[in-house]
Structure 1
Amino acid sequence: MNEHLLEDADNSNPEEFYISLKAKLEENHNFPEDYLYKFIFPNDNLKLTELYQIFDKIKYTISTRESKNGNYISASILAFVMDADQVIDLYKKVAEIEGVIML
Structure 2
Amino acid sequence: MDKDKEKETAAFYERLQVELDKSTTWPSEYLFKFIVPSVDGNVKKVEEAFNCMGAVIKTTKSKTGKFTSVSVDVTMKNSQEVIEKYQELSTIEGIVSL
TM-score by length of 2: 0.88
The reply to whether residue 15 of structure 1 matches residue 41 of structure 2 is no
Partner in structure 2 of residue 84 of structure 1: 79
Q: Which runs of 5+ in 2 are unaligned?
A: none
Partner in structure 2 of residue 24 of structure 1: 19
Q: What is the number of equivalent residue pairs in this alignment?
A: 94
RMSD of Structure 2 on Structure 1 (CA) = 1.6
Deviation at 1:45, TM superposition (A): 5.4
Deviation at 1:11, TM superposition (A): 7.6
Pick which of 68-77 and 36-45 moved more.
Answer: 36-45
Greater radius of gyration (CA):
2
Partner in structure 2 of residue 36 of structure 1: 31
Residue identity opposite 2:52 in structure 1 = K
Moved over 4 A (4+): none
Distance change in 2, residues 1:24/1:11 (3 Å): farther
Deviation at 1:57, TM superposition (A): 3.5
- Look up the SS of the partner of 1:16 in the other structure: helix
Q: Which runs of 5+ in 1 are unaligned?
A: 1-9
In structure 1, how many angstroms separate the alpha carbons of the residues matched to 2:72 and 2:28? Answer: 13
- The 5-angstrom pairing of residues 43-62 of structure 1 reads 43-44=38-39, 46-62=41-57
